[in-house]
Structure 1
Amino acid sequence: MPSTGRKLELRLLGPMEIRYDGRPHAVSAPRLRTVLGTLLLRANEVVSLQHLADSVWEEAMPADPANQIAACVSRLRRTFRQMGVEQDVLVTQQPGYRFVTDGVWLDTLAFRELREEARRHQEADDPRRALAALRSALALWRGPVLSGAASRAWQPELRRWEEERIAAHEARFDTELSLGLYEDLISGLSLFVQQHPLLERPRAQLMLALSRSGRRADALRLYHDTARLLRDELGVSPGPELRRAHERLLHGAEGRDTPEPEPPAVPAASPAHHPPARPARPAAGQPKVPCQLPGDLGEFVGREDETRHLLEVLAPGGTTTPVALVVGPGGTGKTALAVHVAHRLRSVFDEGQLYVDLRGLDTHPVSAEEALARFLRELGLSGAAIPGSLDERAALFRSLIAGRRMLLVLDNAGDARQVVPLLPGTGSCGVLVTSRSRMTTVPNARVLELGVFGRRHAHELLRRLVGDERLAAEPHTSDELVEYCGRLPLAVRIVGAKLASKPHWPLHKAAARLADERRRLDELTHESLAVRSTLELSHQGLSPAARKLFRRLALLEVPDFSDWVCAPLLDAPLTEAEDLLDELLDTRLVDVISPPGSTRPRYRLHDLVRLFALECLREAEPKVEWEAAVQRVAETTLALAGIAHRRICGGDFTVVHGTASLSSVPSDVVERTTGDPLGWYEADRPTITALCLQTAELGQDELAWDLAATSRCLFSVRFHFDDWLLTHDGALAAVRRQGNRRGEAVLLLGLGDLYLTRRQYDRAVPLLEESRRLFHLVGDCHGYALALRKAACADRVLGRPERALARWQECLPLLRAAGDLEAQAQVVRWMAQTELERGRREEARAFLRDAERLVTFFHGRSAAQVRLSQADLHLAEERLGPAYEAYGRGLRDATALGDLSGRCAALLGLGTVDVRRGGLPQGEERLRQALDLARSIQDPLLESEVLLSLAAARRAAGDAAGSVALLRTGAALCRRMRAPLRLRRFLDALAGHSAEVAGSSTT
């Protein structure tokens, strides 16, 4: 989206809009708008006087058109100068004029740039970024080009732009199909087909989406409806693409035997005056959906019989899901075999391969819930769309992959509880599990026991690691090495890696170290002792400072980490800590797990490496130093979370802090993240959660609850409900152990807010009331007011508006005393919304004036929400122009902040205005987008509001049955939320339908 700095912004994709420096400006004279629109449609090109005259005067041409056009251009130049535009955007150039876009943002150009960006991403085999670019391009459209001011002379340009819009939609649908986003796609495609009933390609795409989501009967019905429509309207039969889709459905292929090549090609944006090409068909053989597999080992050797057995077990096609379980002791190469076989099966399971390391032997293994969340995100769901419970996640996952040829690799499973919820439900999928346990309760599992290498394969592995020259120089010694290793793959690999990392070592030196039986177990045992002895050799080569970092990295109970954590761990400057981390990387004691060139690289200690480092730590440092190091990292995380919180809220508002000192936080770490604190949050969210739990376990309850409370706003805006619940539950247990009443009050407030956000009022209200009581008990007036204001929010929804207003009035003086501007603005805005719902517009207006005054002192989420409330007031007063403008600004603000609920509310408002203005297609499209968003963030309150407006739109379109169905859905939502006032609105609307039907019958 364009910047709101000092820039001229022009929008043609919809009604003409002009902004400069973020402020709207109008060109009201019809003739001026026509001249400007004609020039903008051919921006950067010379538009002849004749074409300009034809555009302005379609029939009765005046005697002096050139002079009158010149006068119009002069007035337009003056208008732009009055706005403050310094550059000359209107240039005289024979045989007419040219609009120059240097330094100008024009939505038509932005649309084509985004389409070109999508094409580049598609060529780079990055369909997700291509899809994001296409969605951004289509989001620029607010209606037909220059709607409401069209000239007959514009028709060729307008048709070309509509063709480009259709092509972009079709490319978007193709890309969503390639990513397997069938369920999300169906609603959007269905609406698009209704709006463009005679376009055949979208109907073929919808057939494919329906069939791949398990709705084959609906897909066949759509084909027959399409054939009938084309016959009745045009007298033609379906074209080749529709017929091919139909034939695939009849043969049960669902597009797979003759696959839609993936990913689809995205057409480049068309230059002006040339019709855009239709989307090119993608080249055959390109990969489909995700492949999460680690790379196959170049030095993989042997296991031919085992590989053949697994390939047979995992052949799809039966009625049950094939499950192969590779079991054996540590060091036998279970993971290497599983990954190797999975790569062999990619052509069989051609719709995707999912991989997760379950870390079953870790102190904090990956739960089935977390594994499912990862898989669902990889399949295209946002964090907000992922259900909360294990059963719901498992059911949704099974639904998404039902009938698809996908392979799951579940590595390092600890027990069946980790595995069973992840199993697909259809025989088209396969599951490959590695574990040290046989896990006999896993359904349909075929177990393969993995033992040590044969001599030939052990030699081959050593040769690939060490090289032919060194083995040939000491052939007998290589035999000794293999036997000393007991042909255990991990042991051979360890010895080979040692020799490869020390090219100056002769083989006999390694053999001599292994020859002593008293040391051999230390060198070769497949459990931690073997790893410990090997790692000790590398550890001894580290500098003392690098050893300290290595030891202390093991303290962090995180799956992976960023480089900045090294500074507080050592209490050292960031650059020094980064140099020491590089030393660990060079010795392979730390792994880089992010892709090359990543702007936010992530690092990890292997599980066994971490155990070794912990042993070193216990020998070298007292426990008090360990705990101090963890505390410094947690305090730094708290400081960084605070910066991100202030970016969202506009200040240190709506949060109660503990007594944790932040004096030791490294300033260079803070400077590193200041530029993009929200990006830091997205990358290090697992670190926040893990450190909150770890400090809670260490008894650092004050730090734990402060970290949870400070991160609450971030969890809320991004709808990371799992992290919100984990941090608050873990910290709550700690503060209760310590008898920390204030911390308990803060965490109960956070949990109450969580359930309030999820509209679970029966769970939210008791927590908020108890929080309020505890804040009162400890004499914290600010906390008391924050809890009371949230309890009042529940009162408002539960049909107690007077009580809500009274409680908010009680909050305000306490919030003023605390200097909490954002909380004040929120309260006053909620009061305005409540009065507006009661039909008291003047009272609402007065409260909104107070809210607007408050948000002038800060920028953040609440400031954007105040503008949305002002738009609601305009809408209630039928002031549709100001409402539309305010909702548009609210949409831009919410998008910039990543505020999904604010974006939903803005789309709801814009769609409602469109419908009231008579723009039903555009209004319904926006309302459908809002409905999808409300459901994705699991907000039934917002969903009910959208359903009410959507029902009104359907009623205006003459679809009484569709309107009634939406109203009934909304009424059911309100009943579940126990929201009587909102329920009454749905019941009244349903009663209105009944009255209309009765009136029609009487007539």
Structure 2
Amino acid sequence: MLDFGQDEAGQRLSFRLLGPLQVIGERGAVHIPPGRQEIILAALLLEVNHVVSTNFLVDLIWNHEPPETARTQVQICVSRLRKLFAAEGLDAAITTRPPGYVLTADENAVDAAVFTRLFAKARMLKDKGQRAEAVAGLRAADELWVGDCLSGLASEPLRSKSQQLDEERLTAIETRLELELELGRHRELIGELQHMVRVLPLRERLRGQLMLALYRSGRQAEALETYRSGRELLAEELGLDPGDELRKLEASILASDLSLLHPSADPQPGEPDTGGPGQPPAAGATALPPALLHTEVLRQLPADTADFVADEEQVAEIERALAGNGATSCGGLVAVVGKPGAGKSALATHVAHRLSETGFPDGQLYCDLRGTSCSPATSNEVLGRFLRALSIPGPMVPEGPDERAEMYRALLASRRVLVVLDDAASEQQILPLLPGSRTCAVLVTSRVRLTALPGVHRVELDVMPPDRALALLVSVLGADRVERERAAAEQVIRTVGALPLALRIISARLAGRPHWTLASMMQRLSNERHRLDELTHGEMTVRASLSLTHDGLDAEPRRLLRLLSLAQGTMLPGWLGGALLDHHGAFPSDLLEPLVDVQMLDVVGAESAGGFRYRFHEITRLFAREQLTTHEDPHARTAAAERMFGAWLSLAEQAHRRIYGGDFTVLHGSAPRWQLPQNCVDELLVNPTLWLDSEQLNLCQAVQHAAEEQMHELCWDLATSLVTLFEVRGYHEQWEHTHQQALAAVRAAGNERGAAALLCSLGSLYLRSSRHEESSAALRDALASFERIGDRHGLALCRRDLALLARMGGDDGQALGLYGAALADFDKVGDMVGLAMVLNQRAHIRMRQGHGDLARAELDEALGIYRSVGYTGGQARTLRRMGQMLMQRGEHAAAVRTLTETLELCRDNRDVIGEGHLLNDLGNALAEMRRVDEAKRFYGEALVIREQIMDQAGAARVRLNLARLLATTGEEAHSRALLETPECALRNRRMPHEPKTAEQAMWARSGPDFTL
């Protein structure tokens, strides 16, 4: 056991920051003159034993408008503090250390340092399971506080650091309360928690702890009232809903979840924790559904530069600014700006990695905004990516930018996340991506100054100072080699203008040729500079270095560098070199390694299935494109591009086959494919949907690029192949954008089949988006084209979707006719999955018309087809429809067995939307069977999922079902509480009049197999 009373807390404290600033000398309290001396002392104590720059102290006092004598006045204040320390016998000293001053003292003499150490030690004990000891340490840490940090000190700039310590104190208190709840002290904690919630009513973790303490003490109604009052306060004060954790807890309390009664309420020996075969899990088996137990911390950063030479003062400046300065609605907002090659991205990535664990434990969001490219990312596109990364299923991502931004801010409201936006084009691109929470921060890089960005702290990068430039060469080449030719090394640095990118390229070139001297490199570089003297100064030295390295490469990597510039994506897959060079070796990524060795390509991440992902610096890409134009004839460029697009198409086609069990429900054309080695395909497509998602940007850009190159047949085939991804992940913008680009290309080329295929696919998109008139027009135009050219497969796809439109419009007769024709065509062309989809959809009409036996036969046939090809998505939807049919017929026990099987399929596929539907269905079936406790638990789990994915309409439906069940069991108060929620009340008023739309069918569909 660790003793908290002797090593830190028992030491006499000379400096107190955790409350009003106090200094204790040999004769007692020491008077510090208020004003400048007090502010400087506080700043030095907050960074005890670390250097604080004079510029920072000047800004603290004069807020960026210092007089000419500012530095002199700071020196005078420091001198007076030194004299005061000596006179009062304080065991501390202030010494000058460039670029400022450092206060040297035993950290145990500063209460803030003691608090930090006690908190860290308590966390260590907590991790080891020593909860009682950790609680004792946390209580000792809290006893150091006598008020808010530096209370009474009139310094706005110091407030961000003091607020950070105040926040850490609250986190320590919450951690201690959590541990005490785990120790079973819920009754003793209620009074303290009620006081804390009154003082900090918006602190959701404290409110959740109070709810849990009340619930465990048998005060369920008070626990729910605590939630309701918090929700109303959040809505009134901030216009926000409670966070995920609080909503999950409310749902579990409403469901009377037994696992909440004690944190370690594991099943007792002999007690089963799940039901038998065909039975739903037993009540209390788990507090949260499995889909929510696998939430991962966001880790989107590119790889850090291994030999990065940091300016520690600059890094510290950025880290301080990211902590927040109160000038912006989010936390810190920092923009790193500078010329090309200055190392903006490398610095931002380095800082983000340093802060990843301590400053932002909930993760990092990253996006290359492509600000210097011909097609910068839109903020709406980036919001969609971030929402999916934050576990919102694609179909639940809103279409409009305002709705996306609102959801994004709500999801980040209670998280500590760092958002890194690389290569920004403008303020307008950034503003919608700012979180609304002070717990998050944003780090931006850009070539423009971003002066109109509110509250931004700018860090401007220029060339490297000589000492760091030399250190960079040493880090790559070794100290001995650089020291032997110190003068030549310094001349190389001057020649390239000390630009980091140029230095990295040159040092990598030298590292690969140990027999070259720095002097010979200097001579070569000088010659190259003369050859490139027409270039602008800002990029001249980088281009000179690139040209030098390019000309020194062997023929194959030199050609590959040029051909790689054809790819427009920001991250390049390792196999791409094989396609561009028409190289069929088993390990195509090896072709890229020579370019990595000389810093012409950067390794920025790993593939999901192994291997690496690569990226050009934008200047390197431009240089490679220039070389491509100079050295490759148009025919060779076209052939390489066709192989690259053909490889993308081949992989997308094979991904579709692995998901659907074959070339079902999709049309293909005659464009040539380029086949990767089978071992590469198998590695990449272990999870085909995941691969499609990870390559979404590259695939969409390939469609656009193929359209621009007038490769119309390849263009439409790739676009329609990507629907496999677009519909499952809800990429509606990308779906429409790629298809419109391809449509323009095929129409210009007179490609009628390609145009019909694209219109048919757009009809499905418009149907999914409830744009029924546009859907009908597109489908009928496609139908007419397919009739003219006699394409039965295309006719079947069009008629299937036109039947669904008729069915949604209430015309069952027309729908059945179209379904019949589609069935015949799907059967003729051998599209078994298309046939099964029609059977599944038609069964719904049969059920509605009272032909239950016929519906069951068609569902059985569809299920058999899906199982024979291994298409699990179709199996799940068919089984769910069977379960619903069994419920209609009053066969509730059979329905529970069928729906439970479907639930397991959804969980295996990580289909969180389907899981939410199935949990609600099981709640309905169990409620009909009067298995009340189990029904309540399933409703509770369904509610947790619906609220996690921010499906308010779906959550309202579940609340209504749960409220009706509670009303029948005498729990009127809980039932009323559910019905009083705004969404539920609105839903209740609308339910009798709601039209049936495609919104009801948003359950993880693959193909237009809607569930209505």
TM-score w.r.t. the length of structure 1 is 0.65
RMSD: 4.9
1:424–1:549 distance in 2 versus 1, CA, 3 Å: same
778, 788, 792: which one aligns with 2:799: 788
Letter in 1 for 2:335: L
596, 603, 608: which one aligns with 1:592: 603
Equivalent residues of 2:528, 2:548 under 8 A apart = no
Equivalent residues of 2:476, 2:507 under 8 A apart = yes
Residue deviations 1:251-306 (CA, integer Å, cap 9, x gap): x9x99xxxxxxxxxx98999968999xx9xxxxxxx997684753765525474x5
Letter in 1 for 2:798: A
Alpha-carbon offset, residue 597 of structure 1:
10
1:542–1:794 distance in 2 versus 1, CA, 3 Å: same
Residue deviations 1:488-537 (CA, integer Å, cap 9, x gap): 44444444444334332222212323455953856997755533432344
Match of 2:878 in 1: 866
The whole-number CA distance in structure 1 between the counterparts of 2:940 and 2:590 is: 52
Equivalent residues of 1:880, 1:913 under 8 A apart = yes
Letter in 2 for 1:591: D
Residue deviations 1:67-125 (CA, integer Å, cap 9, x gap): xxxxxxxxxxxxxxxxxxxxxxxxxxxxxxxxxxxxxxxxxxxxxxxxxxxxxxx999x
Equivalent residues of 1:758, 1:939 under 8 A apart = no
1:782–1:485 distance in 2 versus 1, CA, 3 Å: closer
In structure 1, the residue corresponding to 2:612 is in which secondary structure?
coil
Match of 1:878 in 2: 890
Match of 1:364 in 2: 375
Residue deviations 1:429-479 (CA, integer Å, cap 9, x gap): 443332221233322334444333444444444444443323332333333
Equivalent residues of 2:395, 2:730 under 8 A apart = yes
In structure 2, the residue corresponding to 1:575 is in which secondary structure?
coil
934, 940, 951: which one aligns with 1:922: 934
Greater alpha carbon shift after TM alignment, 606-615 vs 345-354 = 345-354
Match of 2:592 in 1: 581
Letter in 2 for 1:508: A
Equivalent residues of 2:528, 2:547 under 8 A apart = no
1:15-164 matches, within 5 Å, as none
Alpha-carbon offset, residue 350 of structure 1:
6.2
Alpha-carbon offset, residue 361 of structure 1:
0.8
The whole-number CA distance in structure 2 between the counterparts of 1:301 and 1:385 is: 42
Alpha-carbon offset, residue 670 of structure 1:
4.7
1:845–1:467 distance in 2 versus 1, CA, 3 Å: closer
The whole-number CA distance in structure 2 between the counterparts of 1:977 and 1:733 is: 38
Residue deviations 1:343-401 (CA, integer Å, cap 9, x gap): 67675666655443323112333332343344444444444443333322222222233
308, 321, 328: which one aligns with 1:320: 328
Residue deviations 1:658-688 (CA, integer Å, cap 9, x gap): 2324486766655655765445434434333
1:842–1:970 distance in 2 versus 1, CA, 3 Å: farther
Alpha-carbon offset, residue 539 of structure 1:
3.2
- Pair 1:216-2:193 in alignment: no
Match of 1:553 in 2: 564
Equivalent residues of 1:955, 1:963 under 8 A apart = no
- Pair 1:710-2:721 in alignment: yes
The whole-number CA distance in structure 1 between the counterparts of 2:363 and 2:691 is: 30
1:862–1:942 distance in 2 versus 1, CA, 3 Å: farther
1:631-780 matches, within 5 Å, as 631-662=642-673, 670=681, 676-761=687-772, 763-780=774-791
Letter in 2 for 1:911: G
Q: In the comparison of the two structures, how many residue pairs are matched?
A: 755
The whole-number CA distance in structure 2 between the counterparts of 1:460 and 1:982 is: 60
1:328-407 matches, within 5 Å, as 328-339=338-349, 352-402=363-413, 406-407=417-418
897, 909, 912: which one aligns with 2:924: 912
In structure 2, the residue corresponding to 1:324 is in which secondary structure?
strand
Letter in 2 for 1:548: R
Equivalent residues of 1:709, 1:746 under 8 A apart = yes
1:700–1:293 distance in 2 versus 1, CA, 3 Å: closer
Equivalent residues of 2:395, 2:728 under 8 A apart = no
The whole-number CA distance in structure 1 between the counterparts of 2:767 and 2:471 is: 62
The whole-number CA distance in structure 2 between the counterparts of 1:429 and 1:385 is: 24
Equivalent residues of 1:324, 1:432 under 8 A apart = yes
Greater alpha carbon shift after TM alignment, 885-894 vs 515-524 = 515-524
Letter in 1 for 2:841: W
The whole-number CA distance in structure 2 between the counterparts of 1:635 and 1:374 is: 26
Residue deviations 1:565-624 (CA, integer Å, cap 9, x gap): 333322221326344233334444333322499625323333332222222322222222
TM-score w.r.t. the length of structure 2 is 0.64
Greater alpha carbon shift after TM alignment, 902-911 vs 865-874 = 902-911
The whole-number CA distance in structure 2 between the counterparts of 1:658 and 1:853 is: 29
1:932-951 matches, within 5 Å, as 950=962
Equivalent residues of 2:512, 2:597 under 8 A apart = no
820, 832, 850: which one aligns with 2:831: 820
Between the aligned residues of both structures, percent identity stands at: 33
The whole-number CA distance in structure 1 between the counterparts of 2:989 and 2:707 is: 41
Letter in 1 for 2:520: K
Equivalent residues of 1:523, 1:533 under 8 A apart = no
Alpha-carbon offset, residue 916 of structure 1:
1.8
Match of 2:904 in 1: 892
Alpha-carbon offset, residue 644 of structure 1:
2.5
1:967–1:420 distance in 2 versus 1, CA, 3 Å: closer
Letter in 2 for 1:565: L
1:267–1:867 distance in 2 versus 1, CA, 3 Å: same
In structure 2, the residue corresponding to 1:574 is in which secondary structure?
coil
Residue deviations 1:911-933 (CA, integer Å, cap 9, x gap): 32222222233324334544665
The whole-number CA distance in structure 1 between the counterparts of 2:683 and 2:994 is: 44
The whole-number CA distance in structure 1 between the counterparts of 2:300 and 2:825 is: 54
1:938–1:817 distance in 2 versus 1, CA, 3 Å: farther
1:976–1:427 distance in 2 versus 1, CA, 3 Å: farther
The whole-number CA distance in structure 2 between the counterparts of 1:274 and 1:819 is: 51
Match of 1:107 in 2: none
The whole-number CA distance in structure 2 between the counterparts of 1:674 and 1:229 is: 47
The whole-number CA distance in structure 1 between the counterparts of 2:989 and 2:704 is: 38
Flag the structure with more relative contact order, 1 or 2, with Cα contacts below 8 A and sequence separation at least 6. Answer: 2
- Structure 2: give runs of 5+ residues left out of the alignment: 1-125, 129-167, 169-177, 224-237, 244-262, 274-285, 287-295, 1001-1012
Equivalent residues of 2:578, 2:591 under 8 A apart = no
Match of 1:806 in 2: 817
Equivalent residues of 2:650, 2:675 under 8 A apart = no
1:231-270 matches, within 5 Å, as none
483, 486, 503: which one aligns with 2:494: 483
Equivalent residues of 1:789, 1:811 under 8 A apart = yes
1:706–1:336 distance in 2 versus 1, CA, 3 Å: closer
1:337–1:274 distance in 2 versus 1, CA, 3 Å: same
Equivalent residues of 2:528, 2:544 under 8 A apart = no
The whole-number CA distance in structure 2 between the counterparts of 1:665 and 1:517 is: 39
The whole-number CA distance in structure 2 between the counterparts of 1:853 and 1:871 is: 16
Equivalent residues of 2:529, 2:541 under 8 A apart = no
Residue deviations 1:708-727 (CA, integer Å, cap 9, x gap): 22232343234444443343
The whole-number CA distance in structure 2 between the counterparts of 1:334 and 1:537 is: 23
Match of 2:622 in 1: 611
Letter in 1 for 2:375: H
In structure 1, the residue corresponding to 2:335 is in which secondary structure?
strand
